[in-house]
Copies of this chain bind each other. A is one copy, B any other.
């Protein structure tokens, strides 16, 4: 999975971009990336060496940008799928604005769908009243999977300076602090759609991973957990295998949605 990719190069937001919070952190990276052309010419060929399928996470400021991104990436042989990020809280105007409205979300996905035969994962924002509405909307226009949750919009204030800690004022909250919200949303979305769910939000252990699978995730991802230890994903995988053995679970797929 690449970092968020946009049509044009993006310098990202001004620093500070990171604020620690209780059991989590706020970030406002702001989609710093070299733009889709450089991703295609530089990063993707470099990623090829690892022999894993490359999924490109795409963000746009308009529906047309999303379409254009999809069209360009459709013809890149190494690209195995697209993750359509309609949930980034760190860019103005675009990003999350699409993801908070079922019609907007469906429109983006429908138009992207028309431009590519690649599998489409749609990344959902938790900053909504009813996430199942959005999930159903994107399923109905051809999303192959949904991933959730992106970060929750949050803020921290430096009380000495009487200014927001982040130069961008608000940022996205993630890490263990948000896990209960993420698990709840996976549980709700699992009951609302038929397409598979990639679960994330605060996972730092194999037990956390199992919790997401029981809630309804078919796969999981780790974001902030990498900051405790860059090797955490490997450790979680190992511990997960041990856990499955101990519990006598033969196939991990058995877990998905098994929370009664």
Which residues of A approach B to under 8 Å, CB–CB?
Answer: 19, 21-24, 26, 100-101, 127-130, 152-157, 159, 162-164, 170, 173, 175-181, 183-184, 187, 202, 207, 210-211, 214-215, 258-260
Q: Which of B101, B130, B156 contacts A183 (CB 8 A)?
A: B156
**Complex-state Cα separation, A159 to B214, whole angstroms:** 8
A184 touches B214 (CB 8 A): no
A52 to chain B, nearest CB (A): 28
B258 and A154 form a contact (CB under 8 A): no
Residues of B contacting A210 in the complex (Cβ-Cβ under 8 angstroms): 159
The answer to whether A215 and B183 have CB atoms under 8 Å apart is: no
Q: A159 to chain B: which residues have CB within 8 Å?
A: 207, 210-211, 214
In the complex, what's the smallest C-beta–C-beta distance from A110 to chain B, in angstroms?
Answer: 21
**Distance between Cα atoms of A157 and B211 in the complex (Å):** 6
Partner of A180, one of B21, B163, B207: B21
What are the 10 A-B residue pairs with the smallest beta carbon separation, nearest first? A154-B180, A22-B176, A177-B177, A23-B23, A155-B184, A22-B23, A157-B211, A159-B210, A21-B180, A128-B129
Do B163 and A173 touch (CB < 8 A)? no
Distance A183 CA – B129 CA, assembled complex (angstroms): 18
How many copies of this chain?
A: 2
Q: Could you name 20 residue pairs across A and B whose Cβ atoms are closer than 8 Å? A: A21-B179, A22-B24, A22-B175, A22-B176, A22-B179, A23-B176, A23-B177, A26-B180, A100-B130, A153-B181, A155-B183, A155-B187, A156-B211, A157-B259, A159-B207, A159-B214, A162-B258, A162-B260, A163-B260, A177-B178
The distance in angstroms between the C-alpha atoms of A19 and B180, with both chains bound, is 10
Instruction: Give A101 to B130 CA distance when docked, in angstroms.
Output: 11
Report Cα–Cα, A9/B179, bound state, in Å: 34
B residues near A19, Cβ cutoff 8 Å: 180
